[in-house]
Structure 1
Amino acid sequence: MALQFSSFKTRSLTAIVFAMVMLVGMLWNKWSFLVLLTIIHFGCWWEYLQLSKKIFTTKFQAYTQLGLMVMGYGIMLCFCRSVFQINGYGLKDNFSLPVSAAGFAILIVGIFQQKQIQLKAFGMALLGLIYISVSLGFLIHLYG
């Protein structure tokens, strides 16, 4: 396959911009790091669910998708250290459980709105909690 200069130029510029955004997010302060991981978390969940739909040829109800994402975000917040505080309220202590509970409630609503649930696809979606949310939680635990 021949090298296409216009495609190479576009991809190179995109990679440079992406690297700059990643470096700013990681090195600026703790909140930019949290925002960066939040964006990565929801983006990873979106792609993971899209791949699950293609693999199992199924559809996830919108509330099911949102519930999994929010519940996973709550799990990710469980790994925050005491560095992440807003006016003395720690994210781990005060926000992770309510966010996880809200995600679980949205997930239950989504499950009951679906006509049929494919157990394999739903099981794979639940494994995403470990694959995405816990692994990003470990990463956020390293900060501070």
Structure 2
Amino acid sequence: MALNQQVFKTRALTAIIFVAIMLAGLLISSWTFAILFFVIHWGCWTEFDQLFKKIYPKYLAADLRITNLPRLIGCGFLVYCLPHHYTIAGVELDFIGILIMVVGAVKFISLWARAGTLRPLLLKGAVLGLLYISLSWGLMIHLRFFYFLQYPLGFMAALTLVAGVWINDTMQYMVGSLIGKTPFSKISPNKTLEGTIGGSLLCIIVVSSIGYYFVDKNAGWLFIVVSAIAAIAGTAGDLLESKIKRLAGVKDSGHFMPGHGGFLDRFDSLIVSTPLVWLAAQLWVALS
């Protein structure tokens, strides 16, 4: 009993600290938002690299100089996704981001060309990592600064998405614990069909209602669309990460949060949801 209480206290304290850091990063300023997702990007890449090595043991023999370069290219993409009028020492960030990506890509190609039989595996790891991790977090940062007629459309969408993913996870767990009986997927045996469907519907209802009545009645469509993406794509993201962990033969992607797992465990739903929310925002503006 004492051990269970200690585990609960550890998980609760970790969750409180995690939420406090996330809220601070999301809300204090545009720079804290960007820094937050740069850190998340780096942590997710680190864990992805470790999982990839477990799935493909031959990857362990690869030179670290080449396996770390895709992560650097991804960082360049995140820099490029910051507002282009932002500057460092008078140099615009889009130029800095492009420079990092080009230099990283040239160096990667030069080392990759001499990697022999490891070339297919190195290319696979680089492409999958960039698409799975860097694309999502770059688009999240770009979404943060997306405006429509002076309206902070992207910022609203980003905050709604983060809240939607958290609420969706909570609702699915609660509904599944209360009435869940039918297994939803072999990949994630703890998920139930009742919990997944019921929790997703509750997520859409709760997020849409809070957004409409307490945030902005004129943006009701935004809360409905983003919460629906958080519920559906977020669940898909969770299942995808579970599949990757199963292939790697591990329970958690990492241990940066005691009692809660790693970066990928915490942000798997956002990774898949973010590109869809970004696309929805672009389409809405294009069709307006």
For normalisation by structure 2, the TM-score amounts to 0.44
Which structure would you say has the larger RCO, counting Cα contacts within 8 Å and 6 or more residues apart? 1
Which of 71, 74, 81 aligns to 2:73? It is 71
Structure 2 unaligned regions, length at least 5: 146-288
Partner of 1:26: 26
Write out aligned runs for 1:80-91 (5 A). 80-82=82-84, 84-86=86-88, 89-91=91-93
SS for the counterpart of 2:118 is: coil
Residues 1:107 and 2:108 are matched in the alignment: yes
Q: How many Å separate the matches in 2 of 1:110 and 1:51? A: 22
Identity value in percent? 33
Q: How many Å separate the matches in 1 of 2:68 and 2:125? A: 15
Change in Cα spacing, 1:113 to 1:13, as seen in structure 2 (3 Å) is farther
SS for the counterpart of 1:95 is: helix
SS for the counterpart of 1:78 is: helix
Change in Cα spacing, 1:95 to 1:11, as seen in structure 2 (3 Å) is same
Alignment: residue pair count: 141
Residue 72 of structure 1: how far off its partner (Å): 1.0
Change in Cα spacing, 1:105 to 1:82, as seen in structure 2 (3 Å) is closer
Instruction: Supply the RMSD in Å over aligned alpha carbons.
Output: 2.3
For normalisation by structure 1, the TM-score amounts to 0.83
SS for the counterpart of 2:144 is: coil
Q: How many Å separate the matches in 2 of 1:133 and 1:103? A: 14
Structure 1 unaligned regions, length at least 5: none
The answer on whether the counterparts of 1:63 and 1:109 sit within 8 Å (CA) in structure 2 is no
Bigger shift: residues 38-47 or 111-120: 111-120
Partner of 2:43: 43
